[in-house]
Structure 1
Amino acid sequence: MGEFAVVAAGYPAEMETFLDSNPGFYSRFGENYLIPDYTAEELLQIFESMCQNKRFYLEDDMKEQVKKIFTNMIAADLPHFANAREAENLEKSMRMTWVENPVNRVDEATGETRSYYTPEHIPEQYREYLEDAPEKVTEEKEAFQISGDTLGLPKENFKYEEEYMDQTKSVVFIRTKRGRSVSNGSGSIITTDGYILTCNHVIDKAKEIQVRVRKAQDGEKAVWRKAKVCWFDAKLDAAILKIPTDENYSPLPLRAADAETLPGEAIYLWGYPFGSRLSDSSDGLDASLFQGSVSSIQRKGGLSRINANMEAKRGCSGAPVFSKKDGTIIGILCGSQTEGDSNLVEEINYVLPVKYILENVIV
């Protein structure tokens, strides 16, 4: 009997629902791949290919107009935008309008009669996307800063065995929405008034950000807060969120900028791997613990990286990485570097040192 593979494809939120519908699906679909939507330029190329297959040609200015349609449709974040199928739908609709007003021209070089799409063939339902988007007025803003007085203080005699569980109260579960897509990440409360440290890629381009401050327990409901982005740095892959200040939060302490992190130092991470998949409900989900050690400190892309000999999973991005020695956050988990081929892939997780946060936003 021959070998075969089963591929289930769909939008992220719908695929999460699909995988949750049967407890055995997660083990059966062991690999997950997020394929980004096509860009406007790529959709134009798909559209042109479809036109050529139907033996249609585009007038010179039509390429720019079609690209503008796709650009504005993507920017509008339409709930039922069909991605590559939208290129197919546009071509079909233009063919129908062409039938009512055919345009044929003889090619001078070959003598061949060719059918052309012109601006008049753009269907009415697509014309609104030819309008120029209003220009955004950018205002100069003061540099974002956090007062050092609101930060958590390291404990003088931190005892890991006695205190590591208490830290989970300030490790948050982050849920973001981007159109139809829902994704998850981790973060940490670092000030008494509700500033949260996480990765930029966790919240990048999110239309809505929800932070679970406390899980459901003892008959009480989980506490979710709507968060806003106060600061981000794409190069650092770091971001600061803010949740409402209707209570005083217990901030987790950051390692001082002049404190050294060395290879061999024992470390651990609290995070939320695989989002809500580990629990019946995201309201009752507990943080997961991963432990290891610092393997090296390297320079990559002009920045220091703490490479960690420690396991971490998808969903842990933005999670705080602590030192067992003093209980301070030495950095946030940003990702992993992989090496290998189809037979063997190895990876090492890397952490952004908190010194960059202290240098950029703490006063």
Structure 2
Amino acid sequence: MTGGMDQRTAQLETLRNLLKQLDITPEQLLHGTTAASVAVPTFDEYVWQVAEAVSPGTRRVYGSYWQRICQHWGTRRITEPTPLEIKRLAEEIRRDVVVRRNARGGRTAAEHLIAAMRCIYRHAVMDGLIRQADNPAARVAKPRRLASTRRALTETQLAAISNIATTTGNDPHLDGLLIRLHMETACRRGGALALRRRDLDPDNCLVYLREKGGTSRWQPVSPTLTRHLLTHHAERGDGDQNAPLLRYRDGRALTYRRYDYLWRRVGTHLPWVVAQQVSTHWLRHTTLTWVERAFSYAVARAYAGHSGKNDVGTTMTYVRAEVQEVAAALAALTGEPHPLASDPSRQDHPPRAQFAAD
């Protein structure tokens, strides 16, 4: 009798382990609610449902990769690709990437492809179309990220950029305002383009920034910048407090294309801007580096709008030591002057951007 009970106990334990491996509960067996009972869509059917469920920023980043996925596997069901197939597709996209001056071997393209696949399967898990244990994209590692080549601009470099922005082009007032806005707030392009008149608090000299990841914050700005933003709205706005703040001369809302035009123009006058692929994000890097050096890491983290636990490492990309500081250390070590050490990025006052002359 005891032997029979032991055998039954062993069989039940085996059954429990099997159900656990299959990620199926006894309740699912009773009610027939296992994932296998759900009709699985094809990539053509499902990808664009996901596209409608994500934020505009996510859609902008992953959109082209979703198109490539549908071109390759549009008629296949989302449960069919294996981790190996996903890795092969990522490598194919990595090889096909357009080689530019700042290209890094297609790493970013491969990373975005895998991230785009993970986004699809994350929603598929939420919809009960696939179990998390069967998620093929989760088992494909992203390429290791290389350290960013961005660095803080020196005061001389920023002055040169600001001078070109405010003395050339078809709208130097607008471009000067953009440079000053990004230098003071260290905001991203999306944060600047999302500004509305209602986001200005003139009494306390604050602007309300909405940036990636749905984050938002009140950011201090100078009285001078506050005054110029209000003047800009008065001259180019339509009176709508909820409409975009930054506008062209004809009243159209600003887009990312203005930034492309601005840096192309600056690059025609300053070859090193083209050579080093300087962009608006370098202004953010410059400000945050100075804030960390002059105040503290905590202040730099708040200035950057980094608030989550995962943002601790992100802040470090902006506050690492720059080549000018290494050069200064070398000059002190050897007792010989170094050309970069003569203009260090660390200063008693921050690099400043100018407005266009009235």
Please indicate the TM-score interval, normalised by the length of the shorter structure.
under 0.3
The structure carrying a bigger strand percent of its residues is: 1
Question: Quick check: which one's helix share is greater?
Answer: 2
TM-score if structure 2 supplies the norm length? Answer: 0.23
Point out which structure has higher relative CO (alpha carbons under 8 A, 6+ apart). 2
